[in-house]
Chain A
Amino acid sequence: MGETGDLVERARDGDRDAWNELVDRFARMVLAVAASNGVRPADRDDVAQVTWLKLAQNLDRIERPDAVGAWLAMTCRHEALRVRARGAREIPVEDEAFARLADDTDVEDEALRSIPDNELPAAFAKLSDRCQTLLRLLLLERPYSEISEILGMPIGGIGPTRSRCLDKLRRLLPNASGITRSSKDS
């Protein structure tokens, strides 16, 4: 049994440190799944919290402690759909998602920075829930085995699906060409 499975077993025995370690390990992934399934930023903490409450309540019933990451992701997705359907309201584009984009210097290519701050989040928000989930899990560097389980796709399908999702993103950007973009800006 892997380390994650050990943490679940220890948490079952009442070990709070083990639980906190699970939280540290999976909290951001849970929020990413909520965000990828159309939950407004204001409701995301509720969805994440109820996901953790359900894990606590079902800790003894988890059949595969090793795969608790996938369990959390699937529970979170279910709760996200519930909360999203609750009001059946429109999900606004996330303005905050790329707020730090302009300041971030990780992107070395100047052309990449030529996309206005709001275009990328708008385009990303138009991707399918599945594409958003996949890309966010990849950005979080989750193990392929976990991604495969969460999305119900073979590990060999992850690479090609990533390409298809990025291709959609590229087409959703009003002008995905870095070179012509800079001339249009002037």
Chain B
Amino acid sequence: MDHFSDDQLMALLAAGDVVPQASESSLELARMAFDWRTLDAELAELVADSALEQAVALRAAATPRLVSFEGRDVSVELEIAARDEERVITGQLFPPQEATVEVVRPVGAPLTVDTDVDGRFVVEVKAGPVAFDVLSIRTDWLVT
């Protein structure tokens, strides 16, 4: 035998558990995602994310991430600053207006925050998936 055959390598990979196991907790989170299927609000799509833009990625790591969601009548721009496992999210509604924002996490009650007259709000969350309910829209989910 000069080298491992393809089948031997595959056997080695299979034995080595190269495919991650789904832990019971990750299965439970996936099951619970079903609770979020009901959606009366319009879904605001993610239209921009600076994390995916090369130029920004090359800048200092401390640069906040900028994310935009766009609904038909309302848009939300977020600036996400990371501080260890905390995320400080500064939001701006367009058009600017006073409104109540619900910060939805997969588990637990939503956080509620009011925007100022200019449509701005600040909220601090733990890193992880988050979505926003505001006015007529629900934003798409985002891992902060």
Could you list which residues of chain A lie within 8 angstroms of chain B, going by C-beta atoms?
Answer: 11, 16, 19-20, 23-24, 27-28, 30-32, 34-35, 41, 43-50, 52-59, 79, 81-83, 85-89, 97-101, 104, 106-107, 109, 111-112, 115, 120-121, 124, 135-136, 138-140, 162-163, 166, 169-170, 176-179
Contact = CB atoms under 8 A, between A and B. Distances in A.
B106 A53 contact: yes
Nearest to A177: B3
A25 B106 CA distance: 21
Contact of B16 (A43, A47, A50, A101): A101
B25 A124 contact: no
B34 to A, nearest CB: 4
B6 A166 contact: yes
A27 B143 contact: no
Contacts of B31: 19-20, 23
A98 B18 contact: yes
A31 B29 CA distance: 13
Residues of A contacting B: mostly: helix
A159 to B, nearest CB: 10
**Which 6 residue pairs across A and B have the least CB separation, nearest first?**
A52-B33, A56-B37, A98-B16, A27-B22, A104-B15, A52-B30
A139 B14 contact: yes
B102 to A, nearest CB: 15
Nearest to B138: A57
Nearest to B67: A82
Contacts of A46: 127-129, 143
B108 to A, nearest CB: 14
Contacts of B33: 49, 52-53, 55-56
B27 interface: yes
Given A23-B31, A85-B57, A139-B14, A57 B43 contact: yes
A103 to B, nearest CB: 9
B13 interface: yes
A100 B130 CA distance: 34
A44 B20 contact: yes
Contacts of A166: 6, 9-10
B1 to A, nearest CB: 6
Contacts of B15: 101, 104, 106-107, 112
